Amino acid sequence: MSAPGIEVHHVTQASAPRAAALDAALAQASPAEIIRAAVSEVGRERLALVSSFGTESAALLKFAADVDPAIPVVFLDTGWLFEETLAYRDTLTRLLGLTDVRTIYPREEALVREDGDRELWFSDPDRCCFIRKVEPLARALTPFSAWLNGRKRFQGGDRATIPVVEADGERLKFNPLANVTPQELQTLYATSGLPPHPLASSGFTSVGCMPCTSRTAPGEDSRAGRWRGKGKTECGIHVTKIS
């Protein structure tokens, strides 16, 4: 479902072949090599890194900062985030020397009109995600020709077969961590001195909005605590073409 003023596009003839060519060329590339290729492809000012500053976000942010700490970082503050996530954003921004972190918010009029009682997350979680994440991201990505995100194949579900580069409407979408393993991430955190998300030690293996995030049990998929019992695995920003 689209909101007024948001047009959902299909993959363009221009973006799809270029994405396929880049995906083939970068299939075995390291995260840093993929990020450098993205910068080379569209230029730093036309490339956005979209980060939730969640439990595994420090890895992509670290790789990007090592390539260029001025790559624009887009952070969606949905109005339902844990205070620990907001603090983690500030900690990583300072630690990694990120110089262009942009915090984006939902439209106030949409919240008043559709979620005045703040219970939309319960009655219609897809719509809640749309007005709090999908639509704000569509606005935030308007100036950009490509974006980076932190999805990984080992997260399973719809993410198990993601390419390294894909066409996302009129934009290119780079998945620099598609091929990494949990062990590689653990090594990166240890060797780089990256602090964990403050909630990671409390059993939260994936952190999103407060009402729709729960702890996971040992052996569960890392995203099992997201929208538990709702039959929902994605907020929408990775399954809706929003260019």
Q: Which domains does the chain have, with CATH numbers?
A: 15-212 (3.40.50.620)
Higher confidence at residue 222 or residue 176? 176
Whether residue 110 contacts residue 130, with contact meaning beta carbons closer than 8 Å, is answered with no
Q: Which residue's entry shows tokens 């110089």?
A: 99
Mean predicted confidence (pLDDT) in 73-78? 97
227 has a pLDDT exceeding 70: yes
Alpha-carbon gap, residue 120 to 241, rounded angstroms: 23
Mean predicted confidence (pLDDT) in 224-233? 82
Task: Give me the percent of the chain exceeding a pLDDT of 70.
Answer: 91
Nearest C-alpha neighbor of 47 from the set 78, 18, 68: 68
Within 69-134, residue ranges assigned H as helices are: 83-96, 108-114, 120-123, 125-129
pLDDT in tens, 7-38: 333 334 458 999 999 999 999 999 999 999 99
Alpha-carbon gap, residue 154 to 25, rounded angstroms: 21
Alpha-carbon gap, residue 43 to 52, rounded angstroms: 23
Listed in sequence order, the residues at least 6 apart from 43 whose beta carbon sits closer than 8 Å to its beta carbon are 145
The SS3 call for residue 191 is: helix
pLDDT band at residue 201, thresholds of 50, 70 and 90?
A: very high
The one catalytic residue among 128, 209, 212, 235: 235
DSSP secondary structure letter of residue 236? S
**pTM of structure:** 0.87
Query: Rounded to the nearest 10 degrees, what angle do helices 15-25 and 31-42 cross at?
Result: 150
Torsion sign, CA atoms 161, 31, 154, 104: negative
Q: What is the pLDDT of residue 12?
A: 44
Beta-ladder partners of 48: 147
Higher confidence at residue 1 or residue 129? 129
235 catalytic? Reply is yes
